[in-house]
Amino acid sequence: MQIDFKKYHDGLVPAIIQDSTTLKVLMLGFMNQKALDRTMDLKVVTFFSRSKNRLWTKGEESKNFLFVKEIRIDCDNDSLLIKVQPAGPVCHNGDDTCWAEENSAQSFIPVLESVIAQRKNDPAEESYTSSLFKKGINKIAQKVGEEAVELVIEAKDDNDELFKNEAADLLFHYLILLQAKGMTMNDIEDVLKQRHAINK
């Protein structure tokens, strides 16, 4: 990435942070070359903090990390747009954004995907989801298969509550599998949109 860090006297460029799902602007920070390099290496947003005078990974204390999905440069090569999946409230005041706006999605799925991503990138010892990631892709895929079979079995009966619960189990494990493959529902939706456009 050819960023013009020398354009400003302090060697910092603005980095606009945007939710990759809701497209809500979450916060504004500043990066130098080292902050950008660490952000790209860790896939977690890291700024240069002017108040701390050091690199600062957002969420290093709160654990509300910003997991990087995409980085874009503006037309003048002097500012960044970073699309993320936030693992929790972004503002230090506990708000969703630094402008006290609600960062709500129309679906609960993006929220659940953020939780799953957090369990993957910041494992918790007591977390079932983290334990699946630890066991690897084969175990995760096996669980998806098991849940699919259980859903098919329930589909043949007339208990709607059991069917809904099995459907939820399958969807949950499917989202874990997508995350293990480095994907989200947005990637799958893109495929469906492409198919829809072709088959109109």
Domains and CATH numbers, the chain: 5-86 (3.10.20.810), 109-198 (1.10.287.1080)
Phi and psi, residue 26, nearest 5°: -95, -40
CB 41 within 8 A of CB 69: no
Compute the distance between CA of residue 132 and CA of residue 136 in angstroms, rounded to an integer.
7
Report pLDDT digits (tens) over 7-30. Answer: 887 899 999 999 988 889 999 999
pLDDT at 182 over 80: yes
pLDDT above 70 coverage of the chain, percent: 98
Q: Which pLDDT band, with edges at 50, 70 and 90, does 6 fall under? A: confident
Compute the distance between CA of residue 68 and CA of residue 83 in angstroms, rounded to an integer.
6
pLDDT at 33 over 90: yes
Centre a 10 Å sphere on the Cβ of residue 11 and count the other Cβ atoms it contains.
Answer: 14
Compute the distance between CA of residue 141 and CA of residue 174 in angstroms, rounded to an integer.
8
The radius of gyration of the chain's CA atoms, rounded to the nearest angstrom, is 20
Its pTM stands at: 0.56
Report pLDDT digits (tens) over 67-89. Answer: 999 999 999 999 999 999 999 99
CB 67 within 8 A of CB 117: yes
DSSP state of 108: S
Question: Token digits for 162?
Answer: 């059991």
pLDDT above 90 coverage of the chain, percent: 83
Report pLDDT digits (tens) over 94-140. Answer: 999 999 998 876 678 888 998 999 999 999 989 999 999 999 999 99
